[in-house]
Amino acid sequence: MYHFVCNYDRLVPNIPFPTEVDERFVIITLIDNEVYCIEDVCTHDGGALGDGETEDHCIACPRHGAKFDLRTGAALTMPATEATNSFKTKVEDGKVYVSVDE
Ligand code: FES
């Protein structure tokens, strides 16, 4: 089930937008005109990723520096070894929707 998240115009390219969808903390990011959503949880020790520094399509966990791909949730560097969840998105009539169903 898709949930409305924000207007498409709210998203700034490559700037993560942390928010909550259906009681889950997520990060929405517009990259190359595609909207991506990953869970705002680091798989190393549960830190929130949303305040992390970004570079290209990656975000670094503020706690110990593990990097994740904002498009897929893949863990790119230690100390994280497992991907964080990624979720489906869609854009309709200028509005962004996310499904956090697994
Ligand atoms: S909690 Fe994210 S790198 Fe440790």
pLDDT at 9 (0 to 100): 96
Residues 76-93: tens digit of each pLDDT: 999 999 999 999 999 999
- 2-99: which CATH architecture? 3-layer Sandwich (2.102)
- For the chain, which ranges sit under pLDDT 50? none
Regarding the beta carbon of 10 and ligand 1, being less than 6 Å apart is answered no
pLDDT at 101 (0 to 100): 85
- Ligand 1 closest atom vs CA 47: 1
Per-domain boundaries in the chain: 2-99
In 3D space, the residue among 16, 12, 13 whose CA is nearest the CA of residue 67 turns out to be 16
pLDDT at 71 (0 to 100): 97
User: At residue 69, what are phi and psi to the nearest 5 degrees?
Assistant: -80, 120
Regarding the beta carbon of 67 and ligand 1, being less than 6 Å apart is answered no
Regarding the beta carbon of 47 and ligand 1, being less than 6 Å apart is answered yes
Q: How far apart are CA 37 and CA 102, in angstroms?
A: 13
